[in-house]
Structures are given as structure tokens and as C-alpha cells.
Chains A and B, each alone.
Chain A
Amino acid sequence: MAKIIAGLGTSHIPAIGAAIDHEKTQEAYWKPVFEGIQPVRQWIEELKPDVCIIVYNDHASAFSLEAISTFVIGVAPEFLPADEGYGPRKVPAIKGNSKMAWHIAESLIKDEFDMTIVNEMPVDHGLTVPLSLMYDKPGAWPCEVIPLCVNVIQYPQPTANRCYNLGKSIRRAVESYPEPIRVAIVGTGGLSHQLQGERAGLINSEFDENWLDHLVTKPEELKNVSHIEYLREAGSEGIEMIMWFVMRGALDDRVKQVYRFTHCPVSNTNYGLLALENGS
């Protein structure tokens, strides 16, 4: 039987990918960030998940306003990095797990989460930056990936509660898969940031720290926070934080916080990293 062995939350800031790609990680600006993520790289190295379900959002790369899906699952055997305007990132192709992804898609839909099933899509920084954060610059990614996209750009986004329940349904899907596959689930995006308008540059570290505390210990309470509260307190792009609830929902009610790290700023964002395991 397949099993969820770990949950990881991380921002997916494009500049982090660029720093890794262009060998800038030892520069003064970047050094504390990459020192801060080191324990998670070791943790992942020890855990060696077979499959990572990466919950992220597409940023007008694979999908546009032409058709807006709230929840997407990628079922392809392979995904290539997207051209986001400056040519695709030169990172290895991402191997999917088509068979398992289809099982999860079917299980989710039977469980009343009406997924959009996608056979062909490029993947953008939302997915590739977390991989680089976890694995640095390998010749090939050491895990298979099941991409799960959430619409966080077109308002109204799904509620945090819906994301949390999707996580619970993903867990049921994984645990009903007959092969002994070890799965890590990764929630990405956030923390507070606003890229647009006169309020661009907004960061709210106090909100973020309090949010992380609650996400670990009191997700049932935190999941009721409204869209407006995220938009207002964490910034218009900070609403990406709802995607961490998919990860949190796939874990036990009580979890062990293995590691937590925040760093302000990375680019225009308060960077956040959280490693969780089931049980207390």
C-alpha cells in the first residue's frame, strides 16, 4: 500500500530558482537562505520519497484565462519546464507517475472533488523551484512527480477549507493505491507578498509566523480564515498560502514539526519553509 510519509511547505519564488541556476547561492544575499534550507535537503535525502505530489499554481504558463480550472491533476509520464517569457529553465525533465496519478484522479472524483485531468502541460517555477529547493541541481530528479495545480489567481480561489479537505481526499487516494510507494506531499507558495499595485512590496511577518503556528497545531481553526483576510493581511499574491492546506490536510491531525525556517525578504516575498511528519 502507498503511504504519505512527509509534508513539506515552501515558497516557490522564481528568484530562488535563478540563484541556483546561475550559481549565486554563496552570494551574501542568498547565503542565509540556502543555509536555512539545508536541513530540509538532508531530511529529504534521508526520506527518499518515491513520488512527490507537488501542490502549486500555474502562473499564466500552461494555463491562461482561456479556461480556468480550480483543481488540476497532471497525469502525464513526463512534464517539461515552461517558457515563462525568458525561455524554459534549464532543469531536467520531470518524470510523472501516470498510473498513480490516474488512480488519484479517479479516487478524488469519486470522492466528489471534480478534478480537471491534464495529459499535456508544461510546468512553471511553481513546481520546478520547490524541486530545486529540495534536490539542488541533480542530473535527473530523484523522485517522480504528480503535479496538482490550484487556481489562486482568478478570484474567487477555492477556500482554505476546500483545500484542506482535498488534502484529506488525496490521502485516502494514496492509501488505497496497491503498490508500496512512499509519497511526500509538498504545499507551495506564499508567504506574505504582494507583487502588484501601489501596495507592491507588502510583507506581514507577524501574520505569517502566527499562521505557521496555527497550520501546525490548529489547522481546523485556521482553515476558516477568509479570502479577504489573506488578500488584506498577506497581500494579493500571499493568498497562495491556501495551497499549504492541501499538504496539511493529507497529514494526521497531530503532526511533528521537523523543521521550520523563514527569511525576509527573498525577492519581494517573506520566504517560508516547513517540514512535517505524521504523529506527535
Chain B
Amino acid sequence: MKNEDHHDIPGTYVLDGEHSRKGYHLNMFCMSLNNAENREDLRAGEVTYLSKFPMTDEQRQAVLSRDWLGMLRLGGNIYYIFKLAIFDGLNMQQLGALMSGTDMTEEEFKKMMMNGGRRIDGNRSKSESHNG
């Protein structure tokens, strides 16, 4: 019998109500980066810019230290935090490597993609997971 709870999927942060509630201000900070003037403001001073958003200290710290997995765990959603990655000049492969939770490099991530991507076998459920 398969586990029907989305929390059982390994290495995956589903934006459900609880996650969305937790990450609202973090995600809305990221959303603000759609605006070129806001990007300039962030460039001018991160701490000052971040103070405009009522995030938790933990979220603020995760943003400042570019702890991408941390941002996901604290309620971030990939489409939002990717805006911060774009701001840093990162692409999806670089970000993918940084979120893998291992010391995977961009080159290794790209190579994994060229070889058909991360395998589903072993990655369906937390009980069988090894992310490999």
C-alpha cells in the first residue's frame, strides 16, 4: 500500500497550506525581485532591503547566507527563491547542484541530467530513499 501523504516524498518541499503560511513573507520578498528598481535596492544593501519584509530571523539568515535548502525548509517555494538565484546570476543546474544536499558540482549535476536525470528508483518514498 502506497503512502498517500506528500510528506513521504523524499527531498521534496510541497507548497501546501502549512508551508505557504510559514513562507509567505520569504516568498513575497523574492516576488519583489520581479521589479528592476527593487533589484537595484537589494544590490545596494541586502540587510536594509530585507528589513522591509517581516520574515523570521532564520529566514533572513537563510537569504543572506544563500542557504537554498534552508529557504525551502523555511517555507520557500522554488519559483520564488529562483528569483533570488537569478539575481545572483545562477541557472537551474547550478541551483540544482546547490540544493542536492551533497557536495555535487554544477558539472556533476549537468552530467547527471545528460545521463537521463536523477533516477526515480530509490527516490519514490522516504523509506526507500537515497537520492542517488
Contact = CB atoms under 8 A, between A and B. Distances in A.
Interface of A: 15, 59-61, 64-66, 82-87, 153-156, 192-207, 226-228, 231-233, 236-237, 264-265, 267-268, 270
B2 to A, nearest CB: 8
B43 interface: no
A228 B10 contact: no
B80 to A, nearest CB: 5
Nearest to B124: A232
A236 B119 CA distance: 14
Contacts of B62: none
B120 A202 contact: yes
Contacts, number: 150
Nearest to A226: B4
Contact of A268 (B79, B93, B125): B93
B38 to A, nearest CB: 10
Give the most central of A194, A200, A232: most B CB within 10 Å. Answer: A200
Interface in B1-48: 2, 4-6, 9-17, 20, 24, 27-28, 30-31, 33-36, 39
A85 B100 CA distance: 23
A202 B123 contact: yes
B113 interface: yes
Contacts of B34: 60-61, 82-85
Contact of A198 (B11, B39, B79, B95): B11
B69 to A, nearest CB: 7
B109 A201 contact: yes
B33 A85 contact: yes
A270 B117 contact: yes
Dominant SS at the B interface?
helix
Interface of B: 2, 4-6, 9-17, 20, 24, 27-28, 30-31, 33-36, 39, 69, 72, 77-80, 82-83, 86-87, 92-93, 95-96, 99-102, 109, 112-114, 116-120, 123-125, 131
Given A86-B86, A196-B72, A232-B9, A64 B31 contact: yes
A197 B28 contact: no
Given A195-B82, A199-B118, A201-B100, 13 more contacts: A83-B34, A85-B39, A153-B15, A154-B20, A156-B16, A196-B72, A197-B13, A197-B69, A198-B69, A202-B119, A203-B118, A204-B120, A231-B6
Contact of B20 (A65, A87, A267, A268): A65
A66 B27 CA distance: 10
A60 B11 contact: no
